[in-house]
Chain A
Amino acid sequence: MGSEVVKEDWAEIFVRVLKSNEIDLVAYVPDNVLRPLIDAIEADPYFTVVLPAREEEAIAIVAGAYMGGRKGITLMQTSGFATVPNALASLACPFQLPVVMVVSERGTIGEFQQGQAMVCRTMRPVLQSLGIEHFAIQDRSQVEFVADGMIRQAFATRAPAAIILSPLLTKRPH
């Protein structure tokens, strides 16, 4: 790692992966942890950005866009993910729609708020019960491989996926 001249942060790598996968539509509900990624996307005219009121809307927007031939992605926090099982189970999963969710993980490894901690515990059981591919990225060195692979798999297999951004990636000094 030390040999790199310019060290990209995780958000910059993520933006590069989105572009290489021709994902130019982003629907998100904001989160402080996602801010570097949100700021990079908002600042880049390559992306069309939609800010819905709820995460379910974000899922439906990228689902509709996919059926119209445009690739999109959603960004949300753990607590936002907790609001979307109905849209996943009755739209993304049965209709075989590659809805990719980037979920910033709150509620673990240093959480100070019990509500967040309890909501966080619902996330993986929901993903598992719906059979949704998910992986938590823990290190900057994993971002490109995991994000690219999961995005490609989601679109190739027409299945939703959750790319979880662990505090090990977003909070730990790299």
Chain B
Amino acid sequence: MSVMETNSGRQTAKILNRSVMTKRLVARLKNEEAVIGGIGNSNFDLWASGQRPQNFYMLGSMGLASSIALGVALAQPQRKVFALDGDGSILMQLGALGTVAAVSPSTLCIVIWDNGIYQITGSQKTMTSGSADIVAIAKGAGLSQSDWAQDEEHFDALVEQALAGDGPRLIAVRIDGAKPAGTTDRDPARIRINFMNGLGV
């Protein structure tokens, strides 16, 4: 599916796998792009995809991956920055989408893995299992370039758009409830220092 197709939404989006898609995203990162992994499974799968020095793994502050990414984007306008977060996380900080839209960094891309559940706490339902639609919310917040990835190829095409610097952009991905492929080593000082070294700071 091409990046231009618009008559598609959450209902038509193929259900993908977070571990596979994280690896697929990371494989396209060739220019030391920064990646902020949200709390829990989002950063567990980022960790499992290979510990790039430009990865930051959150240990708490649920919902703030996009805000941390915005800060990185404001500090290093030449670097592309990705935030990876879950549906339960972003639902806690919907205002952050509006803040990103207001600042409008062309280098920033938010990826939301949406399985409609709080997977890590026992798969309780999130709002997105009902009527809440992350892409509609993001568009309403001012992120006009927000899309449901319809399948793997569409995801790739959207990522390429982000890498071309046409952001800010949000890519929502419907995912299954499979467990992450690993677990992050939770040493915050080391994570921060590695990340700063990775960003050349």
Contact = CB atoms under 8 A, between A and B. Distances in A.
Given A64-B36, A67-B201, A95 B71 contact: no
Nearest to B75: A68
Given A53-B95, A53-B98, A64-B70, A69 B199 contact: yes
Interface in A42-65: 48, 50-54, 56-57, 59-65
A57 B61 contact: no
B192 A97 contact: yes
Nearest to A69: B201
Given A50-B103, A52-B96, A72 B71 contact: yes
A68 B81 CA distance: 11
A59 to B, nearest CB: 8
Name the interface size band of chain A.
Answer: 20 to 34
B60 A89 contact: yes
B74 A86 contact: no
Contacts of B64: 56-57, 59-60, 87, 91
Contacts of A54: 93, 95
B93 A61 contact: no
B67 A67 contact: no
B99 interface: yes
A87 B60 CA distance: 7
A131 B6 CA distance: 51
Interface string A62-87: 11111111101000000000000011
A115 interface: no
Nearest to A70: B75
Contacts of B136: none
Contacts of A60: 61, 64, 67-68, 70-71
B69 A64 contact: yes
A52 B101 CA distance: 10
A101 B63 CA distance: 20
B72 A64 contact: yes
A165 interface: no
A67 B74 contact: no
A100 to B, nearest CB: 14
13 contacts: A50-B102, A52-B95, A53-B96, A56-B67, A57-B64, A57-B67, A57-B96, A65-B75, A67-B56, A67-B75, A70-B74, A91-B58, A95-B59
Given A48-B74, A53-B96, 13 more contacts: A56-B61, A57-B99, A61-B70, A62-B71, A64-B36, A65-B72, A69-B196, A69-B200, A91-B64, A94-B188, A95-B59, A95-B189, A95-B192
Interface of A: 25, 48, 50-54, 56-57, 59-70, 72, 86-87, 89-91, 94-97
